[in-house]
Structure 1
Amino acid sequence: MTELIWLASAFLTGLLVSRLYLPPLVGYLCAGYALNTLGFQVDDTLKHIADISIELMLFTVGLKLKLGSLLQKEVLGVGGLHLFIVTLVSMAVFFSLGGHISGGFVLGVSLAFSSTVLAVKVLEDNGELSTLYGRDVLSILILQDIVAIGLLAFANNTQPKPWALALLLLPLLRPIAHRLLSISRDRELKLLLGVSFALAGGELSDSVGIAKDIGALLMGVMLSGHANAKALGEKLWGLKETFLVAFFLQIGLSGLPSYEESLLALALLSLLPLQAIVFFALFIVVGLRARTAFVSTLALTTYSEFALITSDSVVNSGLLPPVWQAIIGLAVALSLAIAAPLNHFSHQIFSYVEPWLTRFERNLSHPDRLPTTIGAAEWLVIGMGRTGVAAYKAFNKLDTLVLGLDADPVVLQRLLADGRRVVYGDAEDAELWETLPLAKIKGVLVTLPDFQARAFAIAQLKHRGFHGSIGTISFDNTEQAELYSLGAHFVIQPFAEAGKQLVEQMFVVVDASS
């Protein structure tokens, strides 16, 4: 019965806050606070599920870990320097208030982390996870996660056993692990294998005196180079999110903060704008445009769920008093509640502050620079996914001059290697449409997967007074009607068209055989 109350309360509060454009995890924390006032307490079952959720989270982080992505200047320069600056300031403030320097160090690093859950969720919902700044944000989050693992090892204050170095031999098992993943063709087997690896890594590291989270991360790293690693991470995402409900409930059930503790939480919240300024300044210094720096900064300006994890470990090891658990929990919840709607409307917000922020841009060459010329191109394809590439090839067969635009640097690199004419361009960047030379363009195909991005691109083309043809795709009748109203000349529903072509080809085959 207790488990049902946990789940029902988490669902109801999560549903309520999601209707307010807030992440459900804010609701889970609120549910924990509410249950605590009703006399419910954390038990071993909830704590065990919460521990598993963290192992799954670190395992999925390991699956995404690529050393090359962490060595970029946008990642090391921005992520590394931000961690260093925030940690120094937090340590100084904590020490001046009479706290232990070790506790201040752990607290400072914890407060420098950004929420992986919120940032990835927002970027995924906006269809921006694969954009240039989406990849930079994700790499910075992974860098923070790696630092968090080291911090957990420090905070746990446990002495590893002599044979703990044996964990370094895990890469030797990589061929076996990859083979197991390759032969697990069914989706449920892949999911089961992933969970088994995560838990096995946790138990292995625990047996040698190291935090379970580190073992789970190492297991993820062992599988990170596999062709199915990304698919495995996506399958584990929903399961991990479900298990994380227990973690957030546990934080709320630990107790409501007092009046004084709430004031401290608000004080921590007031420091977030300073963190945002540091992030934005560092992004500008490494050469990003103001828009890229702004949306990246908004995605990173939160306190992280990792701060809840590390604060729990620090309190248990005696480096911080227990009151900090409630303080950090409230500060994290409030930061997510504020950041979620800001990120949802990040592009609209930037349009208001653009004249002021663009003054800080540096005149450097960088991949996110806008195209200043499109050569002799007469046709544009916006979005070089499967549909966009197919359209590009069809234009080539007609011997026409076509150019592709995409915001994913990996996609651009692959297409350029194949000899395609493509340039960087983010369809949701208003400045792109202001500077893009359209005088010679006869038609534009918008094949972006996200509806809002398609709608914005068409609206911007009409705003520029573009007189050529505009074609796009839609996935339901509601989308189709709105895209026509914005100015699209024709709208194709891919799935409906595929069904029609299947029937037409079927009759061709039947007629040929009769």
Structure 2
Amino acid sequence: MTEAVWIIFAFGLGAAVKTLGLPPLIGYLAAGFAISASSQFIGLPAESTTALQHLAHLGVLLLLFTVGLKLKIKSLAQPEVVGGGLIHFIISCAIFAPGIFYFIDVSAYTALMLAVALSFSSTVLAAKVLEGKRELRAFHGRVAIGILVIQDLIALFVMSLASGSTPSMWALVVFGIPLLRPIFYKLLDFSGQDELLVLLGLLLALVIGGFGFESVGLSSELGALAFGALLANHPRSHELSKALWSIKEVFLIGFFLQIGIGGLPDSNAIIFALVVTLLLPIKGILFFFLLLAFKLRARSAFLTGLSLTNFSEFGLIVASLLLPEWLVPLALAVSLSFLISAPLYRVAQPLYEKLSKHLVPFERKGFHPDEQPLIIKEDVLIIGLGRTGTAAYLYLENKGLSIVGIDSDPIKVEKLITDGFNAVFADAEDQMLWQQLQAPHLKYVLLTANDVEAKIIAATKLRANGFTGVIISHSSFTEDAEAINAAGANYTHQTFSETGIGLAKHLLREADKEIATG
């Protein structure tokens, strides 16, 4: 009963924090600290219970399982992802560990483990801010998620080494698990879209992956990650991840509550958190220059680095196992980093616009293959290849027009190319895309992307670069339509209102027919 009251209280604070545009987990941590304070000043009981510990552990396993679902070898096996993740980890540890050892009276081992915990970036925060701006599948979003997965793998490796546990002979059985992939694929296909899908995810993450690996002397965290990775290439892996997202968040409330209940931060913990937070820009700057070294453009390197400029809940997981006495100071540092990182990324695009003249000179000659200048030889450009964009493409193609479509989702683009579309991967919000665009025969542009900001940027940049052809868009709301037209569109179709008018016209035509025949 006590745990239920705590979770309700944490949910309330999390919801309150969310209204301020901040991640709810800051509220969960605050709830834990508030419960701990009630114990010290009011005398109410506040100790981490067995139920709360189990809830926290389940949250960690589900987090790792959903990370594993994103573990696509093709997207990870990229120089900028592997190299950027590993090199950043090594340099971060080389910077933080000596400083912690020199300025804080701790052992070399503790200094190194603290440096390891601080070197990671938040998977939860980065995924949320990127998804909130529909950039999760954009080039810089994929690079950021790839680096986060590399960091998660490093964290698991560190935890395995530090635990010193020896697996049993039965652990060799795990090497045969990939042979069972077809069975798990069929189970995923069979599960449909309802509660069976969620239950299958829980079964694989918590029982077969978590408990199964633990029973043979392996890390339950490794098991959850491994079974997520086993399903990563299935077409429904993203759907499964989305279905488990809310459940994972509920269970993670227990993890953050447990940290806060562990004790209030003292003055030393507060000073430690403030100091390492002041050093936070080092992470972002290091990511920026490392990614430039792999020939990413300044914009991609800047956006990727900014999304990773925070400390990680994964660092707290490492600390909970290896440095429990440092859990509260690290939790405070993570919270402060979220307070800075989340609002900052919301203004990432305008911030880059202001800083671009200082950042672009650092670019290397020759760009990454995914960031080459876009050359359009066709008459019609469709920006955004969702249902609206592909329907427009097929209609215009049947009329004999030469068309090319662009989309920021590489998986969608690959599928469309397979289906015979003339599609190109490109991000409409990329300012440099429009500056480097070569389109000598372009006459018409259709803006069918979901994001209003992408349409406004595309229209503005096309007109600024001298495009005098026709730009047509669509929008759900009048105020968005006005903004798109002000940016340079000739006409914006208001989807809801004009669809309603169209339906009403059909009704009147049918009514006229009845009158005529009656």
Do Structure 1 and Structure 2 share a fold, with TM-score over 0.5? yes
Q: Aligned to 1:148, which of 146, 155, 159?
A: 155
Greater displacement, 261-270 / 177-186: 177-186
Kindly indicate whether residue 72 of structure 2 is the aligned counterpart of residue 66 of structure 1. yes
Which residue is 2:92 aligned to? 86
* Shift in Å, 1:428: 1.4
Aligned equivalents of 2:499 and 2:159: distance in 1? 52
Q: Aligned residue for 1:45?
A: 51
Gap change, CA 1:477 and 1:188, over 3 Å in 2: farther
Match of 1:252 among 249, 260, 266: 260
Q: Output aligned runs, 1:40-439, within 5 Å.
A: 40-96=46-102, 97=104, 99-200=106-207, 201-315=209-323, 322=325, 324-369=326-371, 371=373, 373-375=375-377, 377-417=378-418, 420-437=421-438
Partner of 2:17: 17
Q: Structure 1 stretches of 5 or more lacking a match? A: 317-321
Alpha-carbon offset, residue 141 of structure 1: 1.0
Q: Structure 1 residues 174, 366: CA separation in 2 closer, same or farther (over 3 Å shift)?
A: same
CA apart distance, 1:311: 0.3
Query: How far 1:19 moved relative to its partner?
Result: 3.0
- How far off is 1:140 after superposition? 1.0
Q: Which moved more, 1:164-173 or 1:119-128?
A: 164-173
The CA distance in 2 between the partners of 1:223 and 1:263, in whole Å, is 43
Cα deviation for residue 360 of structure 1 reads 0.2
Structure 1 contact 106–155 (Cα < 8 Å) conserved? no
Q: Distance in 2 between matches of 1:7 and 1:456?
A: 42
Structure 1 counterpart SS, 2:136: coil
Q: C-alpha separation between the residues in 1 aligned to 2:193 and 2:282?
A: 48
Question: In structure 2, how many angstroms separate the alpha carbons of the residues matched to 1:233 and 1:382?
Answer: 28
Deviation of 1:142 after TM superposition, in Å, equals: 1.1
* Equivalent-residue separation in structure 1 for 2:308 and 2:37 (angstroms): 32
The answer to whether residue 33 in structure 2 is matched with residue 33 in structure 1 is: yes
Select between 378-387 and 417-426 the one with higher mean Cα deviation: 417-426
Distance 2:385 2:58 in 1: 39
TM-aligned CA distance change 1:496 to 1:63, over 3 Å? farther
Structure 1, residues 470-505: CA drift from partner, whole Å, max 9, x if none?
Answer: 222223445345444544333335567777579959
User: Percent identity over the alignment?
Assistant: 40
Question: Does the 8 A contact of 1:438 with 1:466 survive in 2?
Answer: no
Say whether the 8 Å CA contact 1:370–1:424 is kept in structure 2: no
Contact preservation (8 Å) 1:56, 1:198: yes
- Structure 1 Cα separation of the partners of residues 225 and 182 of structure 2: 18
Partner Cα distance (1:271, 1:121) in 2: 23
Q: In structure 2, how many angstroms separate the alpha carbons of the residues matched to 1:102 and 1:165?
A: 31
SS in 2 for 1:38: helix
Provide the C-alpha distance between the structure 2 equivalents of 1:278 and 1:435, rounded to a whole number of angstroms: 27
Counterpart contact for 1:31–1:249, Cα < 8 Å: yes
**Deviation per CA, 1:49-94, whole angstroms, max 9, x where unpaired?**
1111111111111222122222101111111111111123333334
**Which range moves more in the overlay, 285-294 or 478-487?**
478-487
CA positional deviation for 1:45: 1.8
Superposed displacement of residue 199, structure 1: 1.1
Decide whether aligned partners of structure 1 residues 369 and 177 sit closer, same or farther in structure 2, where only a CA change above 3 A counts: closer
Q: Which secondary structure does the structure 2 equivalent of 1:491 belong to?
A: strand
CA spacing shift, 1:498–1:189, aligned 2, 3 Å: farther
Distance 1:243 1:336 in 2: 20
CA contact (8 A) 2:376 2:440 kept: no
Which amino acid is the alignment partner of residue 113 of structure 1?
A: F
Rate the CA distance shift 1:493–1:242 in 2: closer, same or farther, 3 A: farther
Residues 289 and 368, structure 1, Cα contact 8 Å, conserved in 2? no
Q: Which amino acid aligns with 2:196?
A: L
Question: Are residues 91 and 344 of structure 1, via their aligned partners in 2, closer, same or farther at CA, if it must alter by over 3 Å?
Answer: same
How is 1:425-504 mapped onto 2 (pairs within 5 angstroms)?
425-437=426-438, 440-464=441-465, 466-494=467-495
2:492 maps to a residue whose letter is V
TM-score, normalisation: structure 1: 0.90
Distance 1:246 1:496 in 2: 45
Quote the residue 1:319 is aligned against.
none
CA shift in 2, pair 1:48/1:405, >3 Å: same
* Contact preservation (8 Å) 1:156, 1:211: no
Report if aligned partners of 2:375, 2:439 keep a CA contact under 8 Å in 1.
Answer: no
Deviation track 1:260-292 (CA, whole Å, cap 9, x = no partner) reads 121111221122211212111110000011011
| C-alpha distance in structure 2 between counterparts of 1:502 and 1:404, whole Å | 32
Cα shift at 1:27: 1.7
Whole-angstrom CA distance in 2 between matches of 1:189 and 1:478: 41
Matched, 1:6 2:29: no
Please say which of residues 432-441 and 215-224 is displaced more in the overlay. Answer: 432-441
Name which of structure 1's ranges 444-453 and 222-231 shifts more when overlaid on structure 2.
222-231
The amino acid that maps onto 1:23 is P
Task: Give the Cα separation in 1 of the matches to 2:26 and 2:94.
Answer: 29
Q: In 2, Cα distance between the equivalents of 1:196 and 1:270?
A: 42
Please report how far the alpha carbon of residue 430 of structure 1 lies from its aligned counterpart in structure 2 after TM superposition: 2.4
Residue 462 of structure 1, CA deviation: 4.7
Structure 2: where are the runs of 5+ without partners?
Answer: 40-45
Report the Cα distance in structure 2 between the residues aligned to 1:431 and 1:41, rounded to whole angstroms.
Answer: 54
Q: CA deviation at 1:370?
A: 5.3
Task: Give the whole-Å Cα distance in 2 for the aligned partners of 1:164 and 1:98.
Answer: 40
